[in-house]
Amino acid sequence: MPKQPLWEEQEDILVEDDIGSDLPAHIIVFNDDFNTFEWVIQCFMEVLKHTHEQAEQLSIIIHFKGKATVKTGEKRELIPLCEALLDRGLSAVVEEG
């Protein structure tokens, strides 16, 4: 009788990254030592369409906590916004979930 292996081989399935997913995603901005509060506030107002008060509060949270979620929505809508923040020198990522 042939000996059974102690493991089962599983088939790897390649799943494309679906940027059209309806799962909620978030833009997270991280604190840094070179962008001023004024610049971060301006970026949030121009790119994310936040009010001055929202942008100011988020910049303070980022400064003291090290990071903050600055926008939530569909990933496909957030990616260009995140890229615009990166282009302005901010440290930002889009995370799902």
How far is residue 44's CA from residue 40's CA, in Å, rounded to a whole number? 6
67-74 β-sheet, strand order? 67-74, 24-30, 91-96
**Domain presence at residue 66:** yes
Query: 46 is in which domain, residue-wise?
Result: 33-71
Residue 86 has pLDDT above 50, yes or no: yes
**Domain presence at residue 63:** yes
Q: How confident is the model at residue 60 (pLDDT cuts 50, 70, 90)?
A: very high
**Domain presence at residue 85:** no
C-alpha angle 81-44-96 in degrees, rounded to nearest 5: 45
Number of domains in the chain: 1
For the entire predicted model, the pTM comes to 0.77
**Domain presence at residue 56:** yes
**Domain presence at residue 80:** no
**Domain presence at residue 88:** no
pLDDT in tens, 6-46: 555 555 544 445 555 567 999 999 999 999 999 999 999 99
How far is residue 16's CA from residue 11's CA, in Å, rounded to a whole number? 16
Determine what percent of the chain is predicted with pLDDT higher than 90: 75
Residue 71 has pLDDT above 80, yes or no: yes
